[in-house]
Structure 1
Amino acid sequence: MSTFKPSMLTLALVTAGLSNHAIAAQNEESVKNDQKKVEVVEVRGFRASVVKSINTKRFSSEVVESISAEDIGKLPDSSIAESIARLPGLTSQRLDGRSNKVTVRGFSENEGATTLNGREQVSINDNRGVEFDLYPSEIMSGVTVYKTPSANLEAEGIAGVIDMQTVRPLSMDERVLQVNALYEKSDIGKLNPDADDAGLRGTFSYIDQFADDKYGVALALTTSSSPNQEKRWNTWGYPEFEENGKQYSILGGAKPFVRSTTLERDSVMFVFEAAPNDKLSMVFDALYIDFTEDKILRGIEIPFGWGQGLLNPQSVSVDETSGFITSAITEGQRVVVRNDYESKDAQMQAFGFNATYELTDATTIEVDLSHSSVENKIWSLESYSGTGRGDLRGAADNIGYTFNDGNTGAQFTHELDYSDYDLIKVGGPLSWGSSTALNEKYGTNVEGHPFQNTLQDGFINAPVLEDEINALKLAAKHALDNDYISSVEAGLSYKEREKSKVSEGYFMTLKDFSYPDNTDLLTVPDQYRLGTANLDFIGMGDMIAYDSRAMVADGYFSLLAESLTDASHAARTWSVSEEVTAAFVQANIDMEVADMPLKGNAGLRYVKTEVDTKGAKAGIDGSGQVVLEDSRENHDYSHVLPSLNLSLSIDDKQMLRFGYAKTISRPKMSEMNSSIIRSYRDVPDDSGNFWEITGGNPQLEPKEADGFDLTYENYYHSEGYFSVGAFYKDLKNWIFDSNTEEDLTGVINPKTGLVPANPTATRKLKVNGGGGNLWGYEAAVTFPFTLIHSSLEGFGLIASHTRIHQDVEDHNGEEYKLPGLSEKVQSLTFFYENNGFQFRTSMRKRSDFKGDVYGTGFKTEQVDILGETIWDAQIGYDFGEAGIKSLEGLAVTLQAQNITEEPFTSLSGDNHLQVRDYQDYGRVFLLGASYKF
């Protein structure tokens, strides 16, 4: 029984001049007939990748967006996240100047899934959302974003599924041996004397086929050293007060600094593909990534409203509308000079094996095995210095501030010289080290001791995260010979995931400190002095710069674990294991309605999840020490997830799509762990309870959504299309903060050793409940200018616009804004490519949104982030395409990123004058060359 039908995809590939071997594998006579009907226009380079992306979208059963690389190592952007963020309905959030977290149709990265070659991937943070700067774009052949799922997709997410793909060697029609090199430079220059402002990237790739194209291998080796600079204004907050019956607010304190980061990433990608006969095909792929990110941060923490200084009334200026004090001077203020360092060291590996076997002419079976794991070690050092130990020792300063226009923070005035090594010395100038264990270690808890709680000279955060996924999938597909269903498929899969976090922190105290013999701060030894760092961007001039890492390594500090007296580390230490068993059945539709082809699929997916969480119940005893009790809880849940995807071809260019799916997003692992803190209050809370419990909730269940999509698509040209579509999601079982009551009858108060008379506790945790609706529309177009006139051959435009609305309430009926949701998202790319010359400029724009940033102890915090418009540009020349035979295979490129120096800005509350964060990254330039042998 022959089930072959010439596909529209074949026609499109012929039209684009992209397919040789794929066509040969089809019915040869049918292809020849099809070729006679179409005009063969061969395009290469970026235009070829555009055509390939269009065809992926056009001939997918689901609603998808796609990017494709013309060659391995040649995705359209230097960052894979930036490429993804230009797709219709998608955008990204920057972290340290790099696109990192991808948002799909208003949903944050934690509401979607990321896969590599169809297999779910681990993450290097304490949640599920993948940080895309882990993955080098140089090894990817393409990315497909599934906005509507089908039952056979092996990952779940309300936002969708982002699938990254590595190359398949047998899909190439020739041997490839290629070398890419890229030089990167920041226009800000070195903001720290021991930093880099230039870096190099390199890629070697080899693809080959053997034994009459029955076997193929692909190997890619990449290395990169990518620098990044930042001038950051950051605030502690804005306290409010009342005077003469009127409300005012003032700057509480600021923590501005200059940051220099170097991201070093080495990776190896290997693929072996075999098709020894017409029935069997096998693919083994492996990816290893060694990811290191080093940050150097120097700045001055400046207390103001929360500091020691006295406010000068004559210096005060007030914004009358909001009551915000826009400028003021405090006298007698002391600050903390910071020389910090942070490293993130992660190793990630992913392996996959897939085999398909044609059991009969109509039946194919498939087996897929995969492993993905990562370990991420973070080491974050804070080193303090100032004029004297503690609150009231050492020289004080008169410090003023004036807020700038445009949400850029404030400029300060000062009188002391913070670049003077004889004035600014290592040690804690403000009393932040109020640890019982720290005091006891140094014998300073004697009554009336002048150095009580002044012994924190620095701090080290050192969390470790591990994540591992192992999966097995068995599936079968059977072709049918009828006028309605082309095939049916079914499968079973099993997946184990275990994620753990170990949280720890260490107080740093100068090793030579002793009372009463040596209580002074330490003058920085000459061998650790690095000169100065410039803080002119906030008006503070130069500050001392020293190698704090080396001083710690050389034993200048004694360390004391914070977990001894701070139960928060116990609550942030946990392990969550999931066993996910899934089964699916799917019918693939291929029929005609009123003489119009109707294709798609209808399926049902059953997912059962078993959760096992391990952690600790922590409290503080009467001596101030942490008391731990093991905590372990189990939970399970199951879902039935129907899906339907239909595409109706009105004619050979126009198409209507409809999609429906029920989807789920599992809770964040940091919210569903079983670690908690029990604390006993001296006075009751608003509910009259003395006990308080904070921590995770292992009984959390996934968020749910019913989603609908309706899209019109018009593929009016082999290099062009336009589409308009609407989408709607009914959100249920969302997750919010809540307070509940819990009975602790019989539980001993660790501070007193007694059972309290009132055993009721207020528990603060995340719970399921509430929900609402999200809806919006998308419009996208790719337009080749040759349609206007033949002289414009090679010019083109890619643009998209997305508008999103939401109506979501929490479990108490209060309005809630989804994190990651920008009401407007736009992208634009204008390009020219012809005769070897390439040029393109791209813009991505998003409106204001709520986003997650890292706070104290690397705990994520949600803040209000202002919208941004980012412009990039690239110019290139391919000598071979230009007809210069002596330089065949050589291509050069020059890129400029963030051309308009768009900052990252977040606010503290609704007042736009109260800037929380203002981050200026400057521009980045990249000069590259590639040679294909």
Structure 2
Amino acid sequence: MLNFKPSKLTMALLSGGLLSMSSIALAAEEATAEQQAEEEVEVIEVTGFRRSLVESMNTKRYSSSVVEAITAEDIGKLPDSSIAESIARLPGLTAQRLDGRASKVSIRGFGENESATTFNGREQVSIDDNRGVQFDLYPSEIMSGVTVYKTPDATIEGEGIAGVVDLQTVRPLSKGERVIAINGTYEETSFEELNPDADNNGFRGSFAYMDQFADDTVGVAIAISTMSSPNQEKRWNAWGYPELTDENGNVVGSILGGAKPFVRSSTLERDSVMGVLEFAPTDDLHLTFDALYVDFTDEKILRGIEVPFAWGQGSISADTAVVDPETGFVTSAITEGQRVVVRNDYEEREAELNSYGFNAEYNLNDNWDLEFDASYSKVEREIWSLESYSGTGRGDSRGAADTIGYEFDGGNTGATFSHGLDYSDYDLMQLGGPLSWGWSSALNDKYGITGTEYENQAQDGFLNTPTVDDELTSLKFAATQALDNDYVSAITYGVSYKDREKTKDSDGFFMTVSSFSLENPGMMSVPEQYRLGSANLGFIGMGDMIAYNVRGLMNDGYYDLLSEKLTNTSHETKSFTVKEEITAFFVKADLDMEVGGLPLTGNVGVRYVQTDQSSQGNAFGTENGLVITSPTDISHDYSHVLPSLNLSLALDDTQTIRFGAAKTISRARLDEMNASVSATYNQQPDSNGNYWSVSGGNPELEPKEAIGIDLTYDNYFSAEGYFSVALFHKDLSEWIFDGNYEVDMSGVADPATGEIPPNSTGTGNGKVNGGEGTLWGYELSVALPFNVFSESLDGFGVIASYTGVESDIEDQNGNEFELPGLSDSISSVTAYYENHGFQVRASMRHREDFKGDVYGIGFDSVQVDIEGETIVDAQIGYDFGEGGFESLKGLSVFIQGYNLTEEPFTSLSGDNSLQVRDHQDYGRSYLLGFSYKL
């Protein structure tokens, strides 16, 4: 058994209430040691941010796995305004921004799809098409902490090659006191309102209550939060860069195909309610029920001008073109006779999350503990994305044309333009489609314009309306047997079951102004009551443009709609239902022994996972221009054996060596597993002997696999300080790439005939398992309080980390492959001072270039090359109670600034750094707030 004696440092942490142990026996032993040492050591008492650092450090120190942790300073007071911002500063972790907010988290070079997110240990649903959780859905005000597991053990329910992120709520019985806390924050962006109907300020507020009753056998915690958070963006966006060839067909350069710059004003509104009820009627029984409800709305107002160049109507004079001699890229040019599309867009993304959990722990006797856990979570997401077009005339060649020039400045900011027309003139710019985009036979037939000069010219806007429903039910039963020997202290046996169903329904509608007909084919002037003035596009040289209330126009019947599903198969590909039933059996042995006189602890275990998955969708083709569908239902099952080992060798009371080894899996994206496919039945077999040609999802995809090894040295040299060196290596296999696979089309009718053909085998073109490779790297991290140098520096400190990652991965054809989310290096530094009530922090996080997923057309996930970035944040606060103002005890105030250097989000098209796909400037954000604890 472990006879290792805690040091004075450990004793001080215990007496200060900063170290939480789960073992009752250990707690009793350490309490006795604490009493013996009470007169020998001074109690360490730190509060606020420093306290959260110490608690986070101790979570890391005493965990059996390799973990990183964040602990709230107090209820409702995580160190940042967003969970993702806090997580992104942990060693080995970083975040990708979405609309200016840290949202998608990457662990050790793996993207969001290779990690799992749990809430109080339970896997969570996602509002996206895939499995990745958007962390801005979860309010930081209700969280007590976050633990990131970099190495698993057999009892952890989340599955991910990169790791598992566990979000945790408070437990009122462990607090031991009544808490009433109120937080309020005013938020403002550095940009003035970029759209006339937008706000650049907002607010956040939360109320938390926690108490214990009936001699501390009943605990209650309630947290209510609301948020209206503004965000604004000046965005350059390119359509693409077509290649230029000489008379022999050789590529000699490239040119701007077209651009879509705009200004965006958005407001993220989120209301949430969290409740926790604990009941411990006896020392042997502990019941916990928790519930979370989140109502989430992200509203975006977007206005801009789509400017065609090489892909437009205008002619480009060679005399005006300037060519970069190294790349052949045309950096500036002028086009004459060009017509543009003036865009007034509106997007609303709504999501409602319900999550419930029940946990029962029962101490059967001195040797057996039983646990039962049940949970249910569901999210419903709706998107309403509206595009409204206006210009000088309907179609490709009507209305006033413009002479437009562009010039790239050599950086990554995109191009600036010159123009001649006044795009803020409501008499010149009118509602209608200035370019012929609506190539739909159904749209032509609706208005009787087939064969006329207005054929394919009836699209005046577009409405995307995809919806997602994700539902997950989980059950778990475990029994832990305590043992009395020199090697194993306990063995845990268990079984768990998860039933998940995710459904996406994709739809889109052509918009046509209601006044349009063959007799009245012109544009429509914006009615006075919907005019809002203008939006300024001066940041790209286009000046002012008309701004109108497109929602009002739509709601009041100024547009007619026609479903794109009638003639476009893409929505059928994106619509699906995926189901998973996962049964797992696990056993874990807790190790507690001595090796060479040194204490060795940890665990060894194995998890057997059986998966039954199925997908329901449509096989479809076209007949006479219309989409014809036939339902599909494809099932697949497989199993995995996942062993794990975690060892922790204490060299002394401050130094620890950790070793971890495990086999892990990451399941395929749910949208890649869908059974909706474009299908064509051929009378002759292909080279594989199959009659069907199929493209779309692959319901038989299996998880990616990895065998990981971790080696870490930790040195906890003071109560508030440590440094750590870690090495990690992962062998990857069964990754997911584009390729061919065989499909069973039994029972599926030929879309062209409506009859079930005699041959049911098909060759699919889509995602397949395969390939292999390795990823390896190292992490350096330190928490350095300056009081180790001098007591006069007490309160000052630095937290820093650096991670370097390399990979060597090939697809199933032997081609090199770069992991999404992989940056060669990531780093973060936080400098702080906290003493006498003053709190000052400044943080920097940096990541190198990486491939990331962004929204494309129709909210498809598109992978692009994203430039590295450095984000700088800061906070100044004052706690009146800690400052000696007894009458104001419990009150603190703060001011925070985010993205202080106005770091843009930039993605490129290809390897040419001049070919900017996106340049998004979010400006800075400021928060002014208070917290009052009764």
TM-score by length of 2: 0.96
Mapping of residues 832-851 of structure 1, within 5 Å: 832-851=833-852
- For residue 41 of structure 1, report the CA deviation from its aligned partner: 1.1
Counterparts of 2:793 and 2:620 in 1: how far apart (Å)?
70
Counterparts of 1:786 and 1:136 in 2: how far apart (Å)?
34
* Cα deviation code 1:679-719 (max 9, x no counterpart): 5999x999999975321001110000000000000000010
Code of the aligned partner of 1:362 = N
- For residue 741 of structure 1, report the CA deviation from its aligned partner: 7.3
- For residue 39 of structure 1, report the CA deviation from its aligned partner: 3.3
Code of the aligned partner of 2:308 = P
8 Å Cα contact 2:712/2:724 also seen in 1:
yes
- For residue 233 of structure 1, report the CA deviation from its aligned partner: 0.3
The residue number in structure 1 matching 2:266 is: 261
Describe the SS at the equivalent of 2:281: coil
Question: Of 237, 241, 254, which aligns to 1:238?
Answer: 241
* Cα deviation code 1:533-563 (max 9, x no counterpart): 0000110000000000110000001100111
Number of residue equivalences: 928
8 Å Cα contact 1:206/1:220 also seen in 2:
yes
* CA 21–649 in structure 1, closer or farther in 2 if over 3 Å, else same: closer
- For residue 523 of structure 1, report the CA deviation from its aligned partner: 0.3
Unaligned runs of 5+ in 2: none
Counterparts of 1:709 and 1:12 in 2: how far apart (Å)?
30
- For residue 3 of structure 1, report the CA deviation from its aligned partner: 11
8 Å Cα contact 2:608/2:639 also seen in 1:
yes
* CA 855–23 in structure 1, closer or farther in 2 if over 3 Å, else same: closer
8 Å Cα contact 1:632/1:674 also seen in 2:
yes
Describe the SS at the equivalent of 2:156: coil
8 Å Cα contact 2:286/2:361 also seen in 1:
yes
The residue number in structure 1 matching 2:802 is: 801
Residue 631 of structure 1 pairs with residue 628 of structure 2: no
Counterparts of 2:283 and 2:78 in 1: how far apart (Å)?
32
Counterparts of 2:600 and 2:585 in 1: how far apart (Å)?
26
The residue number in structure 1 matching 2:880 is: 879
* CA 279–287 in structure 1, closer or farther in 2 if over 3 Å, else same: same
* CA 757–486 in structure 1, closer or farther in 2 if over 3 Å, else same: closer
8 Å Cα contact 1:3/1:481 also seen in 2:
no
8 Å Cα contact 1:21/1:173 also seen in 2:
no
Counterparts of 2:760 and 2:562 in 1: how far apart (Å)?
34
8 Å Cα contact 1:426/1:457 also seen in 2:
yes
Describe the SS at the equivalent of 1:441: helix
- For residue 755 of structure 1, report the CA deviation from its aligned partner: 11
Describe the SS at the equivalent of 1:56: helix
Counterparts of 2:399 and 2:77 in 1: how far apart (Å)?
57
Mapping of residues 560-579 of structure 1, within 5 Å: 560-579=562-581
Describe the SS at the equivalent of 1:71: coil
Residue 352 of structure 1 pairs with residue 354 of structure 2: no
- For residue 133 of structure 1, report the CA deviation from its aligned partner: 0.6
Counterparts of 1:90 and 1:759 in 2: how far apart (Å)?
47
Code of the aligned partner of 1:29 = T
The residue number in structure 1 matching 2:587 is: 585
Question: Of 532, 535, 542, which aligns to 2:534?
Answer: 532
8 Å Cα contact 1:14/1:35 also seen in 2:
no
Unaligned runs of 5+ in 1: none
8 Å Cα contact 1:123/1:131 also seen in 2:
yes
8 Å Cα contact 2:123/2:158 also seen in 1:
yes
Counterparts of 2:529 and 2:177 in 1: how far apart (Å)?
57
* CA 10–333 in structure 1, closer or farther in 2 if over 3 Å, else same: same
Mapping of residues 141-540 of structure 1, within 5 Å: 141-243=144-246, 247-445=252-450, 447=451, 449-516=452-519, 518-540=520-542
Code of the aligned partner of 2:438 = G
- For residue 646 of structure 1, report the CA deviation from its aligned partner: 0.2
The residue number in structure 2 matching 1:555 is: 557
Counterparts of 2:380 and 2:745 in 1: how far apart (Å)?
37
CA RMSD of aligned residues (A): 2.5
Question: Of 583, 587, 606, which aligns to 2:608?
Answer: 606
Code of the aligned partner of 1:813 = G
Counterparts of 1:284 and 1:189 in 2: how far apart (Å)?
45
* CA 144–21 in structure 1, closer or farther in 2 if over 3 Å, else same: closer
Code of the aligned partner of 1:18 = L
Code of the aligned partner of 1:879 = F
Describe the SS at the equivalent of 2:671: coil
- For residue 678 of structure 1, report the CA deviation from its aligned partner: 2.4
8 Å Cα contact 1:620/1:679 also seen in 2:
no
* CA 23–589 in structure 1, closer or farther in 2 if over 3 Å, else same: closer
- For residue 30 of structure 1, report the CA deviation from its aligned partner: 3.8
Counterparts of 1:686 and 1:922 in 2: how far apart (Å)?
56
* CA 741–19 in structure 1, closer or farther in 2 if over 3 Å, else same: closer
Mapping of residues 743-782 of structure 1, within 5 Å: 763-782=764-783
8 Å Cα contact 1:22/1:171 also seen in 2:
no
Counterparts of 2:21 and 2:575 in 1: how far apart (Å)?
53
- For residue 787 of structure 1, report the CA deviation from its aligned partner: 1.0
Counterparts of 1:752 and 1:632 in 2: how far apart (Å)?
20
TM-score by length of 1: 0.96
- For residue 274 of structure 1, report the CA deviation from its aligned partner: 1.5
The residue number in structure 1 matching 2:831 is: 830
The residue number in structure 2 matching 1:731 is: 732
* CA 748–701 in structure 1, closer or farther in 2 if over 3 Å, else same: closer
* Cα deviation code 1:824-860 (max 9, x no counterpart): 0001000000010000000110000000001011110
- For residue 243 of structure 1, report the CA deviation from its aligned partner: 2.3
Counterparts of 2:660 and 2:904 in 1: how far apart (Å)?
38
Describe the SS at the equivalent of 1:670: helix
Counterparts of 1:746 and 1:171 in 2: how far apart (Å)?
58
Describe the SS at the equivalent of 1:149: coil
* Cα deviation code 1:109-160 (max 9, x no counterpart): 1111000000000000010010101001111000000000000101111010
Code of the aligned partner of 1:462 = T
Residue 75 of structure 1 pairs with residue 78 of structure 2: yes
* CA 585–711 in structure 1, closer or farther in 2 if over 3 Å, else same: same
Code of the aligned partner of 2:528 = D
Identity of aligned residues (%): 62
The residue number in structure 2 matching 1:645 is: 646
- For residue 759 of structure 1, report the CA deviation from its aligned partner: 11
8 Å Cα contact 1:315/1:327 also seen in 2:
yes
Code of the aligned partner of 2:701 = L
Counterparts of 1:334 and 1:756 in 2: how far apart (Å)?
50
Counterparts of 1:744 and 1:204 in 2: how far apart (Å)?
56
The residue number in structure 2 matching 1:906 is: 907
The residue number in structure 1 matching 2:703 is: 702
Counterparts of 1:428 and 1:340 in 2: how far apart (Å)?
14
Residue 18 of structure 1 pairs with residue 14 of structure 2: no
8 Å Cα contact 2:2/2:592 also seen in 1:
no
Mapping of residues 56-75 of structure 1, within 5 Å: 56-75=59-78
The residue number in structure 2 matching 1:125 is: 128
Counterparts of 1:321 and 1:124 in 2: how far apart (Å)?
44
Residue 32 of structure 1 pairs with residue 35 of structure 2: yes
8 Å Cα contact 2:19/2:55 also seen in 1:
no
Code of the aligned partner of 1:90 = L
Code of the aligned partner of 1:475 = A
Describe the SS at the equivalent of 1:52: helix
* Cα deviation code 1:696-755 (max 9, x no counterpart): 001110000000000000000010000001000000100001145779999987568999
8 Å Cα contact 1:3/1:479 also seen in 2:
no
Counterparts of 1:681 and 1:825 in 2: how far apart (Å)?
51
The residue number in structure 2 matching 1:543 is: 545
8 Å Cα contact 1:846/1:867 also seen in 2:
yes
